[in-house]
Amino acid sequence: MTDIATVILAAGAGTRMRSKKPKVLHQIAGRAMVSHLLDTVSALEPDLNIVVVAPGMDDVCEEVAPAVTAVQIEALGTGHAVASALPNLKEFQGDVLVLYGDTPLITKETLQRMIDMRREDDGTAVVVLGFEPDDPLEYGRLVTNPAGDLEAIVEFADASEAEKAIGLCNSGVMAIKGTLIQDLMDAIDNDNAKNEYYLTDIVEIARTKGHVCKVVKGAESELLGVNNRMQLAEAEAIAQKRWRHAAMAGGVTLIDPDSVFFSADTTLGRDVVIEPNVFFGPGVRIGDDVRIKANSHIEGTSVGDGAQIGPFARLRPGADIADDVKIGNFVEVKKATLEKGAKVSHLSYIGDARIGEEANIGAGTITCNYDGYDKFKTDIGAGAFIGSNTALVAPVTVGDGAIVGAGSTVTRTVDKDALMVERSTEVQKHGWAERFRAMKAKLKK
Ligand code: UD1
Ligand code: CA
């Protein structure tokens, strides 16, 4: 038991996103904002995570499972949202961390600092995470006393000119003493510019009840709130910068870091070199000593040690690339296993297939895996050699060590070590081209 519970607010309509999708499901580095928060808080090993959702947000419930969800029947404000989670906290005596689902970049270190400050002195009822952004925009302002303790949070819509001039802003993240939370929440009303129940009012309420409230300061880069698509892009940029640094710190060379995009779950081995303009979608694992050449797009793929990918490669979900495989330019691989040392060097589509060890797939080879209704598998044995411009009409098998002549359309099993050629007989007429040109020239006169 760590005596920490988290309440993540995710019930807001997110109107400013202009989206059919709930705001907290919008993604940063390929993962929903709310899931970034759950990932981060998991490092604190909370006893309980509660996500507050609006009615009908089944997609959010699905995304956050197994976290508990509480439904806020009507979006009456952040205070009302936290109150909706309280029935789940009846027995809970520890500290409650409140996070906003639209503030996904916070780090576990910052959360730990808040918990530590809350616990330093038992008279502290609330710790608020403040920050000093370059542009304080419409964030709530933190009013402190000369001792540095927090007196009140004033929402922008309710702030006087003097209060708007305060540079210290409310990030929304709070640590609240669990034994007091019910009492503090009960005292919140909606007597303000927006007629909402503001969570931020609990600071003033706690103080009038004789408790102390404190501020922990955090970096703007952790506390950006995402209300619109411009801020979503800003948050993405901050997250990407973090993954790039983590990759380089872990032994990966990025020739042009700013042009490489990672997903939150990308894993990279040692001595990987990534050339410019490479995009990693979700579910990618890259082994050691891999080189990923420029302009490649990779998702749902596992790449073994020593493999070479690209330039201009497209690896789609289910691509399982073993050690020392070579994937060249303009090659697309989907749901296919390429065994050790296999080569697909140019202009190919490999889908629903197995390519055996050391097999060589010639330029322009296509696995014809789809008949408009169903998908079928192509199986190519170890050491097989597929000539250029071959169409493999699945389901089809090419045995170990077999050779398929260039330009063939393969529809039947090719036996182990056989040669298979499917080509019509060539016709050659000597001097025909010269005579043809002469005839045309004559007609023109
Ligand atoms: C809030 C703070 C503001 C702070 C800012 C930081 C309040 C009253 N204001 O303002 O002081 O500077 O965040 O980003 O808290 N939500 C619900 N139910 C509701 C309303 C909101 O679950 O009824 C959720 C939203 O989904 C969102 C979060 O609470 O994840 C914050 O709500 P939002 O409306 O974005 O608050 P801000 O106006 O940004
Ligand atoms: Ca917000």
Q: Is 218 within 8 Å of 131 (Cβ atoms)?
A: yes
Question: In whole angstroms, what is the distance from residue 184 CA to residue 222 CA?
Answer: 27
**pLDDT tens digits, residue range 399-430?**
999 999 999 999 999 999 999 999 999 999 99
**pLDDT tens digits, residue range 53-81?**
999 999 999 999 999 999 999 999 999 99
CATH number at residue 147: 3.90.550.10
Mean pLDDT value across residues 269-273: 98
Are residues 394 and 276 located together in one domain of the fold? yes
Of 335, 346, 348, 395, residue with least CA distance to 370 = 395
Q: How confident is the model at residue 322 (pLDDT cuts 50, 70, 90)?
A: very high
pLDDT at 12: 85
pLDDT at 2: 83
* Residue 438 resides in a domain: no
Ligand 1 center to 64 CA (angstroms): 19
> Which structural domain, as residue segments, surrounds residue 80?
4-222
3-class state of residue 94 by DSSP = coil
Are residues 312 and 192 located together in one domain of the fold? no
Residues contacting residue 348 through CB under 8 Å, at least 6 positions apart: 330, 331, 332, 361, 363, 364, 365, 366
Are residues 171 and 271 located together in one domain of the fold? no
Give me the chain's average pLDDT, please.
Answer: 97
Q: How confident is the model at residue 13 (pLDDT cuts 50, 70, 90)?
A: confident
Question: In whole angstroms, what is the distance from residue 13 CA to residue 304 CA?
Answer: 44
Give the active site residue among 245, 297, 346, 430: 346
* Residue 267 resides in a domain: yes
3-class state of residue 367 by DSSP = strand
Relative to the alpha carbon of 52, which ligand is closest?
1
Q: Is 218 within 8 Å of 171 (Cβ atoms)?
A: yes
Are residues 86 and 207 located together in one domain of the fold? yes
What are the pocket residues of ligand 1 if the criterion is a CB atom closer than 6 Å to any ligand atom?
A: 9-12, 52, 72, 75-78, 80-81, 100-103, 139-140, 153, 155, 169-172, 198-200, 225, 227
Question: In whole angstroms, what is the distance from residue 200 CA to residue 326 CA?
Answer: 57
10 Å Cβ neighbour count for 104? Answer: 31
CA separation, residue 201 to residues 156, 207, 229, 349 (Å): 13, 10, 28, 60
Mean pLDDT value across residues 227-256: 98
Q: How confident is the model at residue 51 (pLDDT cuts 50, 70, 90)?
A: very high
pLDDT at 445: 83
Relative to the alpha carbon of 23, which ligand is closest?
1
Q: If you take atom 19 of ligand 1, which residue's CA is the nearest one?
A: 77
| Pocket perturbation via mutation, ligand 1, pick of 78, 176, 194, 195 by most ligand atoms within 8 A of CB | 78
Picking from 163, 191, 222, the residue at the C-terminal end of a domain is: 222
In ligand 1, the atom with minimum distance to the C-alpha of 9 is 22
**pLDDT tens digits, residue range 96-151?**
999 999 999 999 999 999 999 999 999 999 999 999 999 999 999 999 999 999 99
3-class state of residue 388 by DSSP = coil
Are residues 256 and 343 located together in one domain of the fold? yes
Kindly give the residue spans of alpha helices, DSSP state H, lying in 86-189: 108-120, 161-164, 178-186
Picking from 191, 222, 253, the residue at the C-terminal end of a domain is: 222
* Residue 373 resides in a domain: yes
The single-letter DSSP state of residue 375 is B
* Residue 380 resides in a domain: yes
Are residues 300 and 186 located together in one domain of the fold? no
* Residue 431 resides in a domain: no
pLDDT at 208: 96
**pLDDT tens digits, residue range 365-378?**
999 999 999 999 99
Are residues 342 and 374 located together in one domain of the fold? yes
The percent of residues above 70 in pLDDT, for the chain, comes to 100
Q: If you take atom 1 of ligand 1, which residue's CA is the nearest one?
A: 172
Are residues 18 and 137 located together in one domain of the fold? yes
- Tell me how many domains the chain contains: 2
Are residues 92 and 204 located together in one domain of the fold? yes
Are residues 251 and 359 located together in one domain of the fold? yes
CATH number at residue 338: 2.160.10.10
**pLDDT tens digits, residue range 148-195?**
999 999 999 999 999 999 999 999 999 999 999 999 999 999 999 999
Question: In whole angstroms, what is the distance from residue 297 CA to residue 240 CA?
Answer: 16
* Residue 57 resides in a domain: yes
Ligand 2 center to 226 CA (angstroms): 6
pTM, rounded to two decimals: 0.92
* Residue 406 resides in a domain: yes
* Residue 80 designated active-site: no
With 90 as the cut, is the pLDDT of residue 324 above it? yes
Relative to the alpha carbon of 169, which ligand is closest?
1
Are residues 182 and 301 located together in one domain of the fold? no
Kindly state the tokens that stand for 224. 């950006």
pLDDT at 232: 98
- Alpha-carbon torsion angle 436, 438, 439, 443, nearest 10: 140
* Residue 236 resides in a domain: no
Are residues 254 and 203 located together in one domain of the fold? no
Q: If you take atom 16 of ligand 1, which residue's CA is the nearest one?
A: 12
The percent of residues above 90 in pLDDT, for the chain, comes to 98
Could you list the beta-strand ranges (E) of 132-276.
141-144, 150-154, 169-177, 212-217, 252-254, 260-261, 267-268, 272-274
